[in-house]
Amino acid sequence: MSWMYLILAGMFEVGGVVGLKRSAEHDTWANSLIMLGSFAVSLFLLSLAMDTITLGVAYAVWTAMGTVGAAVVGVWRYGEQMSKSRWLCLLGIIVVVAALRLTESSEG
């Protein structure tokens, strides 16, 4: 269940970053609520995940999901440009975090 909490925490982290972007563009209560609410839920779920997942792995996965998710949303929703080398770096983040996940399972 901890890994489900961590995945959801990462998704809410992306929601918080989207809310932050929206607040930067149009400072409204709704955008601020999206940002603050998403970050609050994300941190709560992260804390639940850390009950059984080590701090280093949980934080690495959480930040990686936020980084990759924000980059993808930036391209998809906001028309930001990404070079092939940046896509390759994001792929590298995914590969390294997947490897961390595998080591977490095997260290039991």
Report DSSP letters for 76-105, one per residue: HHH-----HHHHHHHHHHHHHHHHHHHHHH
Question: Which range of residues forms the domain containing residue 46?
Answer: 2-107
How many domains does one find in the chain? 1
Q: Average pLDDT, stretch 46-61?
A: 94
| Dihedral class, residue 24 (left if φ above 0, else alpha if ψ from -120 to 50, else beta) | alpha
What does pTM read for this prediction? 0.86
Q: Is it the case that residue 82 has pLDDT exceeding 70? A: yes
pLDDT-derived band at 101, boundaries 50, 70, 90: confident
> Stretch 52-62: mean pLDDT, rounded?
92
Q: What's the pLDDT score for residue 19? A: 95
pLDDT at residue 106 is higher than 90: no
The reported pLDDT for the residue numbered 66 is: 95
Cβ-based burial of 4 (10 A; exposed 0-12, middle 13-18, buried ≥19): exposed
